[in-house]
Amino acid sequence: MPRCPNPRCQMDYPSGTTRCTNPFCLCLLPEAVVGGRYRIETLIGLGGMGAVYRVSDTFEMTQVALKVLTLNSHVTDEATAIERFRREARYAHQLRHKNIVPVLNFGQDGELLYLVMPLITGGTLKELLKGERPLPTTQAQQYLTDLASAIDAVHAHSQKIIHRDIKPSNLLIHQDDGRLVITDFGIARAMEQEKPLTQRGWSIGTEHYIAPEQEHGQAQPASDIYSMGVVAYQMFTGLLPFQAVVRSKALELPLPSKLNWSLPPSVDPIIMRAMEVDPARRHRSAGAFAEALNDAFAKDVTIANDIEFAPTLVATSNANVIIRALLPENPCVKCGRENRSSSRFCRYCGHGLDDASSLVAEMCQIGYMSDKGQHALDNEDMLLIVQGLCVTLTAPLRPFSLFAVADGLRGLQDKQAGGHEASRLA
């Protein structure tokens, strides 16, 4: 007995029923077949323009995602809904980019319009931001770089496409390599050769991410830059702009670095510029936005080769050296740049990543521990302890950074230093 997959409905039906009869649901039931080949398995999500299902392709024997739009949609009139769906299929099928979810097939089955896409199971950016906490800086940077690449590819289309609905729920995480991919071109608009689809009295977009000019039905490429800026603000602070204003009880939007102390202040004007009210004052492209942001972060990184270790520190019998190392993930031993954990070759210089960095090998000697009894009095700010009590570690290769903080050490006058004094000496 099939049951409606919509968690808000879940009505049971006799065997052989293919669709929910609830007028506010109308979901396809499990085992229903669309287009003669796509068998419904489960519901992935519902949206204003239709539903997305996980289906089995009985021809290719693979699992794919199927987006279905019913012709009797309650959201808009039938002609407009059909035109939007066909436009989504046509444009998305033309766009071929690693950060854009491709359309594999599309068609019509009775009163159902459908398009087939690869099944992306890595989740959405919206799910990562549910906790209202900022993402790790490097992760947020990579997602913005991927998003910028996709937006620029959309804007470079000959029909001058605007996505118009850049938001976390439309940004998926690819399960293979963790890259961010953009989907849902159901409200994308070509500025030339085709009539606008915005109905009188309302604009297309999602609240909180929509640009001011788009809200008045005058979307342009800069509108996507605005939405990207809101997404960037949310990734780096964990909050939407309106949430930041309310929670900080401020009269104006707080700067990102004021909400996330790990951010350098140099990124503030870059993110805020993307959300300028005047479209002309925003970044000229998504790529320019991401590049400016990455440059600001790069300038803030401390290079380990510039660090000089004090040679006058002498370890005593109870000396402990605290090490804080900023280590890139899966670093390349040739150029020192960070790569994804699943990568086999460096994406910057092409060098193989099978060889482990010497610094990473040395870090295996670092572990957490705490002293007990009288020893705890000599180690008041101990965090990470280097086994072997070594204070003569050589500076690692660029761009790694290494900092030593120690207690139980003696200075030039042979006076034992501890706590903050030892940290200053180190």
What is the DSSP track for 97-136? Answer: -TTBPPP-EEEEETTEEEEEEE---S-BHHHHTTT--PPP
pLDDT band at 338 (very low <50, low <70, confident <90, very high): confident
pLDDT (mean) for 331-357: 71
Same domain, 209 and 293: yes
CB atoms within 10 A of CB 79: 10
Give the CATH number, domain containing residue 112: 3.30.200.20
pLDDT of residue 415: 55
| Domain boundary residue, one of 99, 118, 137 | 118
pLDDT of residue 94: 82
Query: Could you give the 3-state DSSP secondary structure of residue 294?
Result: helix
Domain membership of residue 335 as a residue range? 304-425
Same domain, 174 and 282: yes
Residue 224: which residues within 8 A CB-CB, separation 6 or more?
151, 154, 155, 162, 163, 164, 166, 286
Within a domain: residue 404?
A: yes
Q: How far apart, in whole angstroms, are the C-alpha atoms of residue 229 and residue 235? A: 10
Q: Read off the tokens for 412.
A: 């030039």
Same domain, 316 and 419: yes
CB atoms within 10 A of CB 8: 10
pLDDT of residue 187: 52
Quickly count helices (H) and strands (E) in the chain. Answer: 11, 15
Same domain, 352 and 392: yes
Same domain, 134 and 281: yes
Same domain, 59 and 37: yes
Q: Would residue 146 show up in a list of annotated catalytic residues for this protein?
A: no
Same domain, 148 and 261: yes
Residue 44: which residues within 8 A CB-CB, separation 6 or more?
52, 53, 54, 65
294 closest CA partner among 267, 328, 324: 267
CB atoms within 10 A of CB 90: 17
Within a domain: residue 162?
A: yes
Name the pTM for this structure.
0.66
Within a domain: residue 343?
A: yes
Within a domain: residue 19?
A: no
pLDDT of residue 157: 83
Same domain, 138 and 242: yes
Same domain, 212 and 278: yes
Taking CB atoms within 8 Å and a gap of at least 24, the contacts of 109-113 are: 109/34, 109/35, 109/36, 111/70, 111/71, 111/72, 112/34, 112/68, 112/69, 112/70, 112/71, 113/68, 113/69, 113/70, 113/71, 113/82, 113/85, 113/86
pLDDT higher for 46 or 323? Answer: 46
Q: Read off the tokens for 145.
A: 């770089």
Within a domain: residue 10?
A: no
Same domain, 191 and 284: yes
pLDDT of residue 111: 82
What total number of domains does the chain contain? Answer: 3
> Picking from 78-82, 148-152, 180-184, 301-305, which range would have the lowest pLDDT averaged per residue?
301-305
The continuous run of DSSP H or E covering 230 comes out as: helix 221-237
Same domain, 195 and 266: yes
The one catalytic residue in 165, 184, 378, 407 is 165
> Picking from 35-49, 198-212, 260-274, 387-401, which range would have the lowest pLDDT averaged per residue?
387-401
For 2-16, how does the pLDDT look when each residue is reduced to its tens digit (9 = 90+)? 899 999 899 999 998
Within a domain: residue 181?
A: yes
For 197-221, how does the pLDDT look when each residue is reduced to its tens digit (9 = 90+)? 444 334 455 678 999 998 888 889 9
Query: Could you give the 3-state DSSP secondary structure of residue 345?
Result: strand
pLDDT of residue 328: 58
Residue 182 predicted with pLDDT over 60 = yes
| Domain boundary residue, one of 279, 300, 321 | 300
Q: What angle do CA 80, 228, 330 make, to 5 degrees?
A: 125
φ and ψ at residue 236, rounded to 5 degrees? -85, -20
Q: What angle do CA 356, 357, 358 make, to 5 degrees?
A: 115
Within a domain: residue 216?
A: yes
| Domain boundary residue, one of 269, 300, 331 | 300
pLDDT (mean) for 118-127: 93
Same domain, 162 and 107: no
Q: Crossing angle, helix 286-300 and helix 137-155, to 10 degrees?
A: 160
Residue 102: which residues within 8 A CB-CB, separation 6 or more?
92, 93, 95, 96, 117, 118
Within a domain: residue 28?
A: no
Give the CATH number, domain containing residue 138: 1.10.510.10
Residue 195: which residues within 8 A CB-CB, separation 6 or more?
none
